[in-house]
Amino acid sequence: MIPIVEADLDQPIDIALEGVADGQRVWVELLRDGQIVGVVESPVVDGGLAIETLRLRAAALETTTVPPRTVLPDEDLPVVSVVVPTICQNSNRLQATVDHLLELNYPNFDIVVVDNRPDPNRAPLPPLSGNGRVRVFWEPHRGVSAARNCGIRNSTGEFVAFTDDDVVVDLDWLRVIGTRFVLSPCVEAVSGLVMPLELRTRAQLWFEEFFGGFNQTFSAELLSLELLANDPLFPYSTGRFGAGCNMAVRRSALERNGLFDVTLGVGTLARGGEDLALLMHQVLTGGTLAFEPRALVRHQHRETEDEFLSQVFGYGTGLTAMFTALIVDDPRHLMRMLRRLPSGLRLLTKPRGERSPSAHPSYPTRTYAYHFLGMAYGPVAYARSVARERSRRRRHRT
């Protein structure tokens, strides 16, 4: 197990750690003005961590600008609906997610839980508290996209936020998102920082080491075709868009540009890519997205080696399935992607040590094989998923 601790770089106080041996690796989240600005790995020395050493390590990181925090009065914040899809693999974890959502520092929101188990004879979900703030719906069409679309249709908020049942949200999560939407009328969607809930097993650490976690930056950003015209990979640099477990979209943008693609995502043969497809579509139609690192959630990573490798394969599959869907919709994307291929390959083959704060990444080398095999399978998976969806629609028409 690798402990995760926070170090406030604004405070001249060393960190004492109990029950941690000297020399043990510790994952240190560096904060300025309450915002995570970077992560470093540090060994414990004399029972703790020296703040000056951490400041030196932080100085070597890419400079992160921390904008001043804006606090709007409650009456200026919009109504938000939070959609949580689930197949209820762990009812305790689902309850914990809902309980944390109910504690959010936000004046006006509701929670829509979508039961995505297709079996009509399924066991009922455990009772979810919430004094009427939590509503539960059943979506038998399998896949996280169909579940989220059900949540959108049954939501009431001006903005719709999305998270998952293996996530713990920060108390200010919705306030940060709602504030950004109010202050930036041009922004159609907001994504935020996803950090590990724990690094208790090797597999959980490997996810951070191999993918660099869910985040490419700790800086607030605006993303649009105009603003990132000089980026050699954008808009196909998928790591810049955030993740489906921490994103929110204006209802008006969903009504204008469409909902999630039900042939993509976990629970379909394509295994992923639905969140990236939706956000990328917002950009490709001229929209602007925002990445807000203060909008923080913590994700429960997969715990076993088999789960990790399956996830790596699935991420690779979902990525190229999503790209295939783009090309099928507009073949011009193929030539644009081919022009960016050299830059993309350099990104995929970055040295192990540059993928994470860990000085000595420990994930197995076969991880690369699982990822590339998944990417090779993605177009086939997408074709199979489309065929399955067409078959399902024919059955429903008869």
Distance CA 383, CA 8 (A): 49
pTM: 0.94
Strand stretches in the chain, DSSP E: 4-8, 15-16, 25-32, 35-43, 48-49, 80-86, 109-115, 134-138, 159-162, 167-169, 187-196, 221-223, 247-250, 288-299
HSE, side-chain direction, 13 A CA sphere, residue 278:
33
Per-residue pLDDT in tens (0 to 9) along the chain, 398 residues: 889 999 998 888 899 998 888 999 899 999 999 999 999 888 899 999 998 888 888 877 766 678 889 999 999 999 999 999 999 988 889 999 999 999 999 999 999 999 999 998 898 888 887 778 999 999 999 999 999 999 999 999 999 999 999 999 999 999 999 999 999 999 999 999 999 999 999 999 999 999 888 888 899 999 999 999 988 899 998 888 999 999 999 999 999 999 999 999 999 999 999 999 999 999 999 999 999 999 999 999 999 999 999 999 999 999 999 999 999 999 999 999 998 877 777 766 666 556 567 777 889 999 999 999 999 999 999 999 999 999 999 888 76
How are beta strands 15-16 and 48-49 bridged, if at all? Answer: antiparallel
Look up the CATH architecture of domain 74-312.
Alpha-Beta Complex (3.90)
> What residues contact 100, with CB distance under 8 A and at least 6 apart?
168, 169
For the chain, give every residue range classified as CATH 3.90.550.10. 74-312
The angle at the Cα of 366, spanning 213 to 197, to the nearest 5 degrees, equals 25
C-alpha closest to that of 324 among 288, 393, 361, 271: 271
Q: Helix, strand, or coil here: 166? A: coil
Q: What is the DSSP letter of 220?
A: -
Q: How far is CA 196 from the centre of its chain?
A: 11
Please give the C-alpha separations between residue 239 and each of 296, 344, 348, 361, in angstroms, as whole numbers.
Answer: 16, 11, 11, 20
Strand stretches in 172-327, DSSP E: 187-196, 221-223, 247-250, 288-299
Backbone angles phi, psi at 164, to 5 degrees: -120, 170
